[in-house]
Amino acid sequence: MSSDLIDHLMEQAHNLTPQQRRLLITRLLEVERTTSGKNGVTLELTDEERYRNREQQWLKDHGAEYAGLWVALDGELLISSGTDGWQVFDAARKAGIRVPFVVQVESPDDLPFGGW
């Protein structure tokens, strides 16, 4: 694969929302894992990847209920939600979560942002 193609893909990834980038990373890792036996390389999920997968699943299952809001997750547990991302983050930190997963949940009705 040429470096020009990689540069183009990176440019496209830059235009994604943080949530879309995390989903892309997860899916790329899944593709790599399913093909890893074919090229002799074996990839295992790290603890953090396994943990973040639970948060992505929570977003799939419950995200519509929190559309437009910020949520702080710890695995599959909702720690805090609200309209101010910093307040949501602070609430999660005060709840003892060292590295909370904080994201603004997109409405399923929103059109994707394609850049300027």
HSE-CB at 111 with a 13 A cutoff on CA atoms is: 3
- Decide if 93 contacts 100 (C-beta within 8 A): yes
Distance CA 108, CA 41 (A): 37
Could you tell me where the DSSP H helices lie in the chain? 3-14, 18-39, 47-62, 85-94
Q: What is the pLDDT of residue 89?
A: 93
Amino acid at 69: L
Which residues is 103 bridged to in the sheet?
Answer: 71
- The pTM of this model reads 0.55
Distance CA 1, CA 5 (A): 7
Distance CA 93, CA 72 (A): 10
33-37, 53-57, 76-80: lowest mean pLDDT where?
Answer: 33-37
HSE-CB at 92 with a 13 A cutoff on CA atoms is: 25
pLDDT higher at 88 or 10: 88
Distance CA 12, CA 40 (A): 30
- The percent of residues in the chain predicted with pLDDT above 70, rounded, is 72
